Amino acid sequence: MAETLVVSRTGPDSTMPPPRFAHQTEVVAEEKSRTSEDDTDDSKYALPDVERGSSDDAPIPAEKEQFLVEFEGPDDPDNPKTWTPKRRWAITISMGLMVFTVTFASSIFSVNIRVVQEKFGVELVTATLGVALFVLGFVFGPIAFGPMSEVLGRKPPLMFGFALFAIFQIPVALAQNITTICIGRFLGGFFASAPLAVVGGALADLWDPIPRSYAICVFAAGGFAGPVAGPIAGGFITESYLGWRWTSWITLIMAGLFGCIGFFIIPETSAARILQLRAARLRKDTGNIEYHSAADENKLTMDKVVNVYLLRPFVMFLQEPILALVTAYMSFLYGIVYLLFEAVIPSVLLRRASTLRNKQIKQI
């Protein structure tokens, strides 16, 4: 190949690089092109950012980026992580109270098992369904409320589920047969799972990783203190002049109180949903339909609902041994706790009732 000179020096003191020949320039250009392509291809294998979302999200076309709605810097007042600590702690505590209420309701019925058995003339196993079916609702509820919180934001499913949980205390309180109690308790547990499924994600929206550990303590305290406080309060209510039905009325009052507090204190905390709402306001105010958020580019399809929101948790459970072991361990612990509520507490109450009756007979 002929070696044709491409550039040359203009003088002895020139700072230009040494001359290259045409075939050398072509080789260097090809190597740079391959290197650039390799660097671009590496992005395909980047791990997903859990905080930002999946790496499978479709890229935003360049012509639309000028209308892409994002937070305006680190101090944007709509960004949940920039809210004042006082406001974030108020939101966190309000959510913790909602978690406490639903877990309180899960165990308060355990003191009614013997009463319900005698009143409706059913077997002991049937009477324990009031507790078992409520906890079974905890199993199926997050399958619905988890995906809803990712698509609709945190507040709508949280408030919707908590409101229906409160409403389903009414049929239990007015029940005239065991079937009504079982249906009301199951549906109440199903909708009571909304705080359990949503609050964890909402805390991730509000707090950075290090301070989030303190916020999670509030969430955990509500989740573990509720089942402990339920039988204690239920025992006093059932043995008082109020009677067993007031365990549901008291739960309804608590749900109404903490639900109203949460409605006014808890705002939308999902960054993706906040930006969607901001983009919608801009489209309405300016009349320009090009304004959009990153979440608007990823349209919700049935395939995505099934594969991402419904099947992914089960796939992770089967593919991640540590996740499967922790799930099995926590299931075992919850099983032991609620086994005590269904077996030990009714037996203790039965022995106490027998003792009181014997004392009354002796006094007579």
Q: Domain containing 159 — which CATH number? A: 1.20.1250.20
Q: What is the mean pLDDT of the chain?
A: 79
Look at residue 159 and tell me if it is in a domain. Answer: yes
Question: Do 343 and 286 sit in the same domain of this protein?
Answer: no
Is 185 part of a structural domain of the chain? yes
Q: What is the pLDDT of residue 1?
A: 44
- Same domain for 167 and 274? yes
Identify whether 51 is part of a domain.
no
pLDDT for 308: 78
Is residue 238 domain-shared with residue 268, that is, in the same domain? Answer: yes
Handedness of CA 160, 162, 167, 172 (dihedral sign): positive
Question: Which tokens belong to 316?
Answer: 């992770």
Which residue range(s) make up the domain with 115?
Answer: 83-302
Q: 353 and 227 in one domain?
A: no
Show which of 249, 273, 302 is a domain's final residue: 302
Query: How many Å from the N-terminal Cα to the C-terminal Cα in the chain?
Result: 124
**Residue 112 near residue 247, CB atoms below 8 Å:** yes
Q: From 251, 269, 302, give the residue that closes a domain.
A: 302
For residue 310, what is the DSSP state? I
* Bridge partners, residue 292, by sequence: 68
Q: How far is the C-alpha of 290 from the C-alpha of 299, rounded, in Å?
A: 15
User: Is residue 53, in this structure, part of any structural domain at all?
Assistant: no
pLDDT, tens only, 29-68: 444 444 444 444 444 434 344 344 444 445 555 555 777 7
Q: 6 lies in a domain? A: no
Secondary structure element (H or E) that encloses residue 331, with its range: helix 321-363
Same domain, 332 and 257: no
Which pLDDT value is given to residue 351? 57
Q: What is the pLDDT of residue 350?
A: 54
Please indicate, yes or no, whether residues 235 and 95 belong to a single structural domain of this protein: yes
56 within some domain: no
Is residue 183 in some structural domain? yes
| Structural domains in the chain (count) | 2
Instruction: Count Cβ neighbours within 10 Å for each residue of 6-18 and write b for 16 or more, e otherwise.
Output: eeeeeeeeeeeee
Residues 248, 124: one domain? yes
Domain co-membership, 267 together with 174: yes
Q: What is the pLDDT of residue 295?
A: 75
> 322: part of which helix (H) or strand (E)?
helix 321-363
Regarding whether 280 and 350 lie in a shared domain, the answer is no
Q: Residue 21: beta bridge partners?
A: 5
> pLDDT digits over 127-180, tens only?
888 888 999 999 899 888 988 888 888 999 999 999 999 999 999 999 999 999
Residues 255 and 333 in one domain: no
For residue 59, the one-letter residue type is: P
Rounded mean pLDDT of 87-100?
A: 95
For residues 206-235, average pLDDT: 90
Q: Are residues 103 and 144 in the same domain?
A: yes
Q: Is there a single domain that holds both residue 324 and residue 291?
A: no
When mean pLDDT is compared across 162-171, 248-257, 281-290, 346-355, the lowest value belongs to 346-355
Q: In the structure, what pLDDT confidence band is assigned to residue 10 with cuts at 50, 70 and 90? A: very low
At 335-362, the pLDDT tens digits run: 888 777 766 655 555 555 445 444 444 4
Please give the radius of gyration of the chain, using alpha carbons only, rounded to the nearest integer. 30
- Is residue 115 assigned to a domain? yes
Give Cα separations from 285 to 67, 95, 280, 288, 291 (angstroms). Answer: 14, 33, 9, 8, 11
Q: Is 156 exposed, middle or buried (0-12, 13-18, 19+ CB in 10 A)?
A: middle
Average of pLDDT values for 101-112? 91
Q: What is residue 12's predicted lDDT score, i.e. its pLDDT?
A: 45
**Identity of the residue numbered 130:** G
Residue tagged 């190949």 (tokens):
1
295 against 266, higher pLDDT: 266
The Cα–Cα gap between 275 and 273 comes to 5
Place of tokens 């190597």: 31
